[in-house]
Structure 1
Amino acid sequence: MAPQLHLDVAPPAAPDVAPPPVPRMALATGVVALGGLLFGFDTGVISGALLFLKDQLALNAFQEGAVISALLLGAAVGALAGARPADRFGRRKVLIGVAATFTVGLLLATLAPDFWTLLAARAVLGLAVGSASTVVPLYLAEIAPPRLRGRMITVNQILLTVGILVSYLVNLAFADAADWRAMFAVGLVPSVAMLIGTLFIPETPAWLDGRTRTARTERPRALLTTPGARAALVIGVTLAAVQQFGGINSIIYYAPSIMARAGLPATDSIGYSVAIGTVNVVLTIAAIPLIDRVGRRPLLLWSLGGMAVSLVALGVALGPQQPGPVADAVALVAMTSYVGAFAIGLGPVFWILAAEIFPPESRARGTGLCALVNWAANFVVGQAFLPTADAIGERWVFWFFAAVSLGAVLFVARKVPETKNRSLADIQHALAAR
């Protein structure tokens, strides 16, 4: 009987409420997804700006690392800190605050007279990036109809990759003038546009409905302790860690260094970054029609499998033998195919699943916790990659990443449900039943 089936699980979630009209939904998607673009831009712009500001501000090696790490640590804090306000005050108000924080951080970075001001600016930007990584996919998931939800959340991932590519192009444009302040200042254009736009977007129907239901109950329902929420948390946190321990940011951050160690010329690091950023954008765009047509699970499985094969090949190319044309070509193809495999599957699908698998009463906090784990793992891998590669060799590091990817294939096959074309309520029922 149905009552017996749900005796030990959370009460059924309310059915999805109607999304906003299509024109308003399209406007809201474009405005909110600017948070993804700023996420990518502020993550990538430091790679070129640091080449020039380190001399003008007289930074030592420790200070250079601190300027990079401040954003990652700030993002880890912002990822979780944005969840409670999103539940209490609404997704829209938090997004207005995120846009304002982006603007303040970019102004501070543009005008920074010394190391401490720049460090503070990067920490502020980190708070905005982390909050955006939680609330933007959450907002898009809650305003989208089931048949379009994957595509709409993927718009955020596309703009994230576009933001990284734009940051590389901006770095390239201002490199001859060594104008690192202008590099940061360009980010003010989308941040101000987002700030103005978020004043006119609607609140999500799911949050409005949840607030009404909470007001009718005597006490709040349990958050991350129900069976459905626990199952969602295991899936979300595991994929968050896999996305980073699968090695993506080691490739994004250190591609020129890897190429140089493989024997390829690395005289133009920004040029290499632009090429990799372009592959990332193109394959993420290619994922749009596949997300809701093929499904999340098949894309994850193919993506993780392709990443593992590419990482094994990259490890072989970085072996102890003398560099040669064949090894150089294998390394370049392996890196490109790896980024492509990530971009068409694990890159966007993790953020989609994190935004759609949690029950409504714990959706913001669950998504925030997944984002926190993602940023913490990003920080660990970013800090540990070069020292570990120097200690045991790059190929062993990439083979470790390959092992993580293969293990994730088994995890996805056993634990991750298909969510395409299913309402958020249906997804939660399925997870609770598991």
Structure 2
Amino acid sequence: MPGGASLLNSGGGLTVPVVVTCLMAASGGLIFGYDIGISGGVSEMEAFLKKFFPGLLKRTARGASKDVYCIYNNQALTAFTSSLYAFGMVGTLLASRVTRRLGRQAVMLIGGSLFLAGALVNAAAANLAMLIVGRMLLGLGLGFSGQATPVYLAEVSPPRWRGGFISAFPLFISIGYLVANLINYGTSRIPDWGWRLSLGLAAVPAAVMVAGAAFIPDTPSSLVLRGKHDVARAVLQRVRGKGVDIGAEFADILAAAESDRRNEEGAFRRILRREYRPYLVMAVAFPVFLNLTGVAVTAFFSPILFRTVGFESDAALMGAIILGLMNIGGILASGFAMDRYGRKLLFIIGGALMFTCQAYKSSCLHMLHSLLLILIIT
């Protein structure tokens, strides 16, 4: 992948081709964000529960007075939600090998197509098995697109603007999440088939990604790794703009590809050496601890979370919409600040905000739980 301090002032400016190419690639985040937002909202729609989880609906109808936190404790519903992430992990592992052979663009095309198929299967689901098969296809699609899209953005974007362009992927995730919650807010008023519309509209961001992946070129780095040097140079010249000297950047790509080939054998054993251990620890710790904070789970189940603490259905969906708006605001702010102030400062600020908000949320839920116990006892 191109990079290095020597190239910070090279690589051209913000040309129309590079902006269009990166935005079309980043649109892959729409499918991830849409699914995060749509699944939690659909899971509390009465028509959806009646169709696939009638036992759960009966418990919901009896009210939350006996067990406010375990109304949604249902193995079939767990299979519905977790099947996507299980197959997303499988898709990511498969995509890492397929990407090296076919390139980033082809993997994004495959991922979008799988997600499109999954959305159509879910919209037409007649039983729980069909619903879960659709979720499996969605998971594979997310695994493929999620593995290739950030790498594509990093390899195509100019070095000076790389941080901002990479942040476009989580920005599109947040936009997809917000749009999904707005759709849920509207379709919840449609009896019997509103949930089908919510799930089926996932085909729209999937189609956007398929169309985008079909028209954008593969990255120069990926083309060089597959021996297509002339095509790689032409693609790099096109995205950087006519008249821009791409010699230094293309030489860096060639050197990185050669280094990659030389060090490919024994790479996994080598990364365990002492000199690479700090990088390995941080590379694993950041995503692991980010997920252990529960932020992804909170976003996914936000309508259900709001519902179980006493919000009405519409208020719960509106709470998820507000959460999506705040997420977009944070990503826009970090995108502008990333290349100016560095990643470390953003990690510190983000971690402090998450700690504060999680502590406040836990104290609020604890007080609510205590109040409910008092009301039940009295």
Could you state the TM-score of these two structures normalised by the residue count of structure 1?
0.65
- What is the distance in 1 between the residues matched to 2:261 and 2:288? 36
1:109 to 116, 122, 127: 122
**1:261, distance to aligned residue in structure 2 (A):** 7.0
For the 8 Å contact 1:103–1:192, the answer to whether it is kept is: yes
Tell me the CA shift for residue 31 of structure 1.
1.4
- From 171, 174, 191, the equivalent of 1:161 is 174
C-alpha distance 216-95 of structure 1, shift in aligned 2 (>3 A): closer
- 1:78–1:128 CA contact under 8 A, matched in 2: yes
Output one character per residue of 1:246-274: Cα deviation in whole Å (capped at 9) or x when no partner.
22134324445655776x64453211111
**Among 212, 224, 231, which residue is 1:197 paired with?**
212
Partner Cα separation in structure 2 for residue 26 and residue 151 of structure 1: 11
Decide which of 255, 269, 281 is 1:225's aligned counterpart. 269
Distance 1:166 1:89, change over 3 A: same
The question of 1:303 aligning with 2:340 is answered no
Tell me which residue corresponds to 1:146. 159
Q: Deviations over 1:371-390 (max 9, x none)?
A: xxxxxxxxxxxxxxxxxxxx
Post-superposition Cα deviations, 1:32-67, rounded to whole Å, max 9, x if no partner, equal 112101111012211222323221235553222211
The partner residue of 1:315 within 341, 362, 365 is 362
CA-to-aligned-CA distance 1:13-47 (integer Å, 9 cap, x gap): 9x879589822221221211121011110122112
Question: Secondary structure of 1:292's match?
Answer: helix
Aligned-partner Cα distance in 2 for 1:159–1:53: 27
Which 4+ residue blocks in structure 1 deviate beyond 6 angstroms?
A: 215-219, 321-324
Q: Which moved more, 1:57-66 or 1:115-124?
A: 57-66
Change (3 A) 1:216 1:279: closer
Provide structure 2 residue ranges, at least 5 long, that are not aligned to the other structure: 56-73, 228-256, 372-378
Contact 1:223 1:229 survives alignment (8 Å):
no
- Residues 284-303 of structure 1: pairs in structure 2 closer than 5 A: 284-303=331-350
Give the counterpart letter for 1:83 in structure 2: S
Equivalent position to 1:34, from 20, 27, 31: 27
Output the amino acid matched with 2:105.
R
TM superposition shift of 1:323: 6.7
Please give the secondary structure, in 2, of the residue aligned with 1:177.
coil
Change (3 A) 1:89 1:304: same
Distance 2:49 2:174 in 1: 26
Confirm or deny: 8 A CA contact 2:113 2:206 kept in the other structure.
yes
Q: What CA deviation, in whole Å up to 9, does each residue of 1:149-172 have, x standing for no partner? A: 111111110110111111111111
Please give the residue correspondences for 1:197-346 in structure 2 after superposition, counting only pairs within 5 Å: 197-212=212-227, 213=257, 220-227=264-271, 231-255=278-302, 265-267=311-313, 268-319=315-366
1:180 and 2:200 equivalent?
no
Change (3 A) 1:225 1:18: farther
Q: Compute the displacement of 1:316 (Å).
A: 3.2
Equivalent residue letter for 1:152? F
Find the residue that maps to 1:112 and give its secondary structure. Answer: coil
In the superposition, relative to structure 1, how do residues 175 and 184 fare at CA in structure 2: closer, same or farther (>3 Å)? same
| Closer, same or farther: CA 219–255 of 1 in aligned 2, 3 Å | closer
Task: Provide the secondary structure at the position in 2 that maps to 1:113.
Answer: coil
Distance 2:96 2:180 in 1: 28
Q: Sequence identity, in percent?
A: 24
Residue type of the alignment partner of 1:191: A
RMSD: 3.1
Deviation, structure 1 residue 309 = 2.4
Structure 1 CA distance for aligned equivalents of residues 296 and 91 of structure 2 = 20
Q: Which amino acid is the alignment partner of residue 270 of structure 2? A: T
Give the structure with higher Rg (CA).
Answer: 2
> Across the two proteins, how many residue pairs are aligned to each other?
313
With over 3 angstroms needed to count, the CA separation of the structure-2 counterparts of 1:20 and 1:93, relative to structure 1, is farther
Within-5 A mapping of 1:76-155: 76-155=89-168
Q: Does the 8 Å contact 2:111/2:143 carry over to 1?
A: no
> Shift in Å at residue 80 of structure 1?
1.9
1:149 & 1:168 partners in 2: Cα distance? 30
Map 1:361-400; keep pairs closer than 5 Å.
none
Query: Structure 2 CA distance, aligned partners of 1:112 and 1:76?
Result: 23
The TM-score, its normalising length taken from structure 2, stands at 0.74
- In 1, Cα distance between the equivalents of 2:308 and 2:162? 42
Query: Structure 1 residues 205, 116: CA separation in 2 closer, same or farther (over 3 Å shift)?
Result: same
**Deviations 1:298-337 (Å, cap 9, x if unpaired)?**
000111122222323333334458878xxxxxxxxxxxxx
Does the Cα contact within 8 Å between 1:20 and 1:143 map onto a contact in 2? Answer: no
Deviations 1:360-409 (A, max 9, x none): xxxxxxxxxxxxxxxxxxxxxxxxxxxxxxxxxxxxxxxxxxxxxxxxxx
Cα distance change, pair 43–59 in 1 and its aligned pair in 2 (3 A) = farther
Q: Distance in 2 between matches of 1:124 and 1:65?
A: 17
| Contiguous gaps of at least 5 residues in structure 1 | 1-11, 325-434
Cα 1:215–1:271 shift into 2, 3 Å: closer
What secondary structure is seen at the aligned counterpart in 2 of 1:138?
A: helix
CA contact (8 A) 1:261 1:318 kept: no
